[in-house]
Amino acid sequence: MCGIAGYIGTVAPAVLPAMLRSLTHRGPDDAGTHVEPGVGLGMTRLAIIDLAGGRQPMSNEDRSLWIVFNGEIYNYRELRPDLLARGHRFQSRSDTEVILHLFEEEGERCVERLRGMFAFAIWDAPRRRLFLARDRMGKKPLYLWHRDGLFLFASEIKALLCHPAVSRALDPEAFHHYLAFGYTPADRSAFAGIRKLPPAHTATLAEGTLALRRYWDLPRGDSLTAGPVPLPERAARIRQELREAVRLRLESDVPLGVFLSGGIDSSAVVASMREVTGQRIATFSIGFGQATPSFDELPFARMVARRFETDHSEEILDPKVADLLPAIVQHFDEPFADSSAIPTFVVAQATARHVKVVLSGIGGDETFGGYPRYLGLRLSERYARLPHWMRSLSGACLVRLVRETDASLNWGDWVRRFISGAERPMPDRYLGWTRFFGEAELERLATPALRQGWKTDVEALPRAAFAARGHGDPVDGAFRVDLGTYLPDDLLVMADRMSMAHSLELRAPFCDHRVIEESLRIPPSVKIPGLRLKGLLKTAFADVLPPQVLSHRKQGFMIPLGRWLRTDLRDMMEDLLSPERVRSRGLFVPDAVEALKREHLGGSRSHGDRLWTLMMAELWLRQYLDTGGPWTLR
């Protein structure tokens, strides 16, 4: 993992090297330290731009400001001439130095002019102030710990755990959120006392006080003008914005490529890349073989690779994933239940053998409407208008007739979720579809000792995001829920940790804030015309992508988890979730866990995601809390 670390306070400078040692990775790096009494900054960064001159920490001309920086600034070449014209002198060609001089010129508002992914800290020595910032979508992590005059920050929790003052107590509120959604929330971590600087926020530490400020947010629906725009013009505008986002992300002094899944998003990235560069494009895909065809998109990836004549590489993932899990858990630092981390880890590992930077289609579903649940939301609005007796009768029949399966398209589970949420108001209905465990299920699963620490509403943030919806359409609210929570806190966390595990930098053009802002100006009915998911995006690229890629249904970057838990991963599940182990933990009710296992193994229900959530929690507890000595619930 690449990243930053530092402290402000009375801690001895000798602590810093231990923190920095936890920020190790394979591949070229820039590293160094600058320490003055009571202050330490350190850096381990993957070298992508200005390999020779970009060493950190970096200072300005008079050494009054020092910066450590993780990430990339894509528009630094555009910003540099203006700074030169204002009299700033540069010692390197790096994007890091551009941030430093921009801060000199504009102060804390410098972040508003940056396009990129970043977490950085600037020490203002004359004013004795520390300024920290994180990019708009939270692509790069930044963890904070502050107590008794001591302030620590780092890109990884394991760096903070090196300090003797930082405890390993479990934060029950963050763990509650993890059980509900499979990841911890934007502002907390699984460790009590360790917090995250949320996406699109800055923080200033001065005279012992830490002040946070949000500098960007998704544009509110009531602030958008949705005048009539012809469909061809909208499609052309979207294609132009994506092309520009791709162009900016091609800045690199090392080889780069593309994760090509075979879906519309990554295919559109390849098409855009072809339009802005004449160089050979390297593409990388992962498949699951003939045993699990409903999860495999390799045939479509090959079509795109042939269409654009890319240098294409493929990796086949088999069920022998148990050996990967300790490394995966280690790189997340927190419990993380999205099983797509496994194929992401494997394709990143394969890709890193060839390139050091890769573009991805992450974010396309949230910006342009790719999830079937968006269609379900429309259908639920009509379903809710039916008489209650008709809903009850039809719902009972559907749940009985449509059985759950282990296929990537599990209609039985979808029907069950749809019917169970039909009586709930919006946005509770939508949020219920996105949860791994609902509150009623957690009442049966979690022990009283764990539940007594749950004081806050885990759905508060997504409800607030939904409330800013526009265009008179609840689907716009669903987009905002996913853009404001699921994308930054799950998908981008997964992409960053699994790529950085192999010293591979991942860039996501669909997550460019201007692409997102342009997307939210468009009514959902235009982005999803009728029942055609991502219809607008497909129209925008219809002239260059193979028709089969445009027409095949969404499969998602998933693994056949449900089937594997009944076969190759069953022994691992039985070990991690044995009644004796569950009882000794004191977090979950053994009978409730056994009921989930029994229903899943018997085939009456598909509980793959729920069981995986509990398994990954146990693996994390073993690796992070058991090995650190006695630990407690906060």
Identity of residue 541: F
Q: Is the distance from CB of 309 to CB of 337 less than 8 angstroms?
A: no
CA-CA distance, 67 to 103, in Å (whole number)?
10
CA-CA distance, 526 to 234, in Å (whole number)?
9
CA-CA distance, 519 to 508, in Å (whole number)?
15
Q: Is the distance from CB of 182 to CB of 490 less than 8 angstroms?
A: yes
Q: Classify residue 588 by its DSSP letter.
A: B
DSSP three-state, residue 64: coil
| Strand-strand pairing, 129-134 and 143-147 | unpaired
Residue 207 C-alpha from the chain's centroid: 33
Question: Which residues are known catalytic residues?
Answer: 2
- Give bridge partners of residue 151 from the DSSP assignment: 8, 146
Q: What tokens appear for 143 in the block?
A: 């963890």
CA-CA distance, 54 to 70, in Å (whole number)?
12
Q: Please enumerate in sequence order all residues whose Cβ is within 8 A of that of 484, keeping only pairs 6 or more positions apart, or say none.
A: 218, 461, 462, 465
Of the candidates 263, 316, 259, 262, the residue with the CA atom closest to the CA atom of residue 291: 316
Q: Please enumerate in sequence order all residues whose Cβ is within 8 A of that of 375, keeping only pairs 6 or more positions apart, or say none.
A: 528, 531, 533
CA-CA distance, 608 to 590, in Å (whole number)?
17
DSSP string, 262-287: SSHHHHHHHHHHHHH--S--EEEEEE
Q: Please enumerate in sequence order all residues whose Cβ is within 8 A of that of 62, keeping only pairs 6 or more positions apart, or say none.
A: none
Runs of H (alpha helix) within 257-383: 264-276, 298-307, 325-332, 341-351, 364-368, 372-383
| Strand-strand pairing, 311-316 and 282-287 | parallel
DSSP string, 155-213: SSHHHHTTSTT----B-HHHHHHHHHHSS--TTB-SBTT-EEPPTTEEEEEETTEEEEE
CA-CA distance, 32 to 53, in Å (whole number)?
13
| 71 conformational bin, left if phi > 0, alpha if psi -120 to 50, beta if neither | left
- The values of phi and psi at residue 60, to 5°, are -80, -170
Residue with tokens 């591979």: 504
Q: Is the distance from CB of 431 to CB of 463 less than 8 angstroms?
A: yes
DSSP string, 450-510: HHTT--S-TTHHHHHHHHT--TT-HHHHHHHHIIIIIIIIIIHHHHHHHHHTTT-EEE-GG
Helix, strand, coil share of the chain (percent; to 5): 45, 15, 40
Contacts 24+ apart (CB under 8 A), 163-169: 163/7, 163/11, 163/15, 163/18, 163/19, 165/11, 166/191, 166/193, 166/194, 167/191, 167/192, 167/193, 168/624, 168/625, 168/628, 168/629, 168/631, 169/193, 169/631, 169/632, 169/633, 169/634
Q: Classify residue 26 by its DSSP letter.
A: S
